[in-house]
Amino acid sequence: MAIEILIIKLGAKGDILRTLPIALALKKKYPDSRMSWITEKKNSEFIKKSLYVDEVLFIPCQISKNFDILYNFDIEEEATLLANRIDAERKLGFYNEGGYASAFNLGAEYYLNTLFDDNIKKTNKKTYQEMMFMAAELEFNGEFHPISLGEKEKKYAEEFLKENNLKGKKIIGIHIGSSPRWPSKFWPIEKIKEFILKAKKDYEIILFSGPDDNKKRKEILSNLNYKVPCNNPYNTDMEFASLVNLCDFVVCGDTFALHVALALKKRTVALFFCTSPNEVEGYGVLKKIISKKIYDFFPEKQDEYSEELVNSISVEEVLKAIDSFD
Averaged pLDDT score across all residues of the chain: 96
Q: Provide the domain limits for residue 126.
A: 3-135
262 and 126, same domain (yes or no): no
Answer yes or no: do 10 and 113 share one domain. Answer: yes
Please indicate, yes or no, if residue 145 is contained in any of the structural domains.
no
In a 13 Å sphere around the CA of 257, the CA atoms on its Cβ side amount to 31
User: What's the domain count of the chain?
Assistant: 2
Same domain? For 189 and 317 the reply is yes
CATH number of the CATH domain containing 199: 3.40.50.2000
The alpha carbon of 312 is separated from its chain's Cα centroid by a whole number of angstroms, namely 23
Extended beta strands in the chain, E state: 3-8, 33-39, 55-58, 67-72, 88-97, 100-103, 171-175, 204-208, 249-252, 267-272, 286-290
Backbone angles phi, psi at 95, to 5 degrees: -135, 180
Alpha carbon separation from 11 to 14, 32, 43, 75 (Å, rounded): 8, 27, 7, 10
Q: Is the pLDDT of residue 226 over 90?
A: no
Whether the pLDDT of residue 178 is over 80: the answer is no
Q: Is residue 317 part of a domain?
A: yes
pLDDT-above-90 percentage for the chain? 95
Residues 231 and 107 in one domain: no
pLDDT tens per residue, range 214-224: 999 999 999 88
Does the pTM exceed 0.85?
yes
- pLDDT, residue 179, reads 75
For residue 234, give the 3-state DSSP assignment: coil
Give, in order, the Cα–Cα distances in Å from 140 to each of 7, 25, 109, 130, 179. 17, 8, 17, 6, 28
Q: Is 252 helix (H, G, I), strand (E, B) or coil?
A: strand
Q: Are 201 and 277 members of one domain?
A: yes
